[in-house]
Amino acid sequence: MQRKSSISGDDSRMYLAALLRGDTHACATIVRRQIDAGVGMREIFLELFQDALYSTGKLWEMNRISVATEHLATSITLSLFHLLYPMLFAVPRTGKSAIITCTPNEHHYVGARMVADICELHGWNGYFVGANTPIEDLCHLINEKRPDVLAVSLTLYSNLPALLSLLEGVRTITKELPIVIGGQGFSHGGVDVLDEYDNVTYHGTLDAFETSLDQG
């Protein structure tokens, strides 16, 4: 099906307002309306879920909403992911797989979860291990699953030392596994540090990552 590429400003505003007042039902109604109109998963992820969470973050930073409201917004967002799953199960499998993890100490995992679902949308198995997976256990999983890619999410630049420890840990078991890094952690620069590592690529956007999936 040909998918529309964008969501109306009215829907985006209504969605954010519903999210901030904790109205899961209203949020779900808006998401379902997009699905029925043929809007794709990527657009719903980026133009509804991501935009609303970025706005939530700004409001929290300005002290205009409480931590509880921000937590509620996150939990509602995560609960809405399942509405999109029928799109994933319709995709033919490629036989490829990726493990998706957050950097140690990194509690932000919504973006990584999107990356995992985008893998599924491209017919890959996306093994999402979320936040707080110890490096040793991650290495065991890599040995077990033999993925084609390891995708790592970094939101806080202050977690860079933990990211480097992860890279070093993974490189003790495999030199070849392509590792893709993404997330807001490098949005203000600093990505050059990854040049030290072979076969490690930074993708600033989900689009760039998707292109690499189709090429891989």
Residues that bind ligand B12 (CB under 6 A): 46, 50, 53-54, 56-58, 61, 70-71, 74, 105-112, 114-115, 151-153, 155-156, 180-184, 203, 206, 209
- Provide the minimum distance between the beta carbon of 188 and ligand B12 in the complex, in angstroms, as a whole number: 7
Tell me how far, at minimum, the Cβ of 106 lies from ligand B12, in Å: 5
Cβ closer to ligand B12: 60 or 169? 60
| Shorter beta-carbon distance to ligand B12: residue 8 or 75 | 75
Strand partners for 163: none
Question: Least distance (Å) from ligand B12 to the CB of residue 63?
Answer: 11
Nearest CA to 124 out of 157, 76, 91 is that of 91
Closer CB to ligand B12, 11 or 106, in the complex: 106
Q: Cα(186)–Cα(168) distance, rounded to whole angstroms?
A: 19
Question: Could you tell me the CA-to-CA distances from 195 to 51, 58, 190 in Å, in that order?
Answer: 30, 32, 11
Residue with tokens 């033919």: 92
Distances (CA, A) of 121 to 52, 68, 82, 134: 22, 32, 13, 27
Q: Which DSSP symbol is given to 4?
A: B
146 torsion bin: left (phi>0), alpha (psi -120 to 50), beta (else): left
Q: Which is nearer to ligand B12, 74 or 133 (CB)?
A: 74
CB of 158 to ligand B12, least distance (A): 7
Tell me how far, at minimum, the Cβ of 150 lies from ligand B12, in Å: 9
| Minimum distance of ligand B12 from residue 11's CB (angstroms) | 18
- Cβ nearer to ligand B12, comparing 53 with 138: 53
Cβ nearer to ligand B12, comparing 34 with 56: 56
The encoded tokens of residue 209 equal 């990552």
Residue in 100, 101, 102, 103 with CA at minimum distance from that of residue 159 = 103
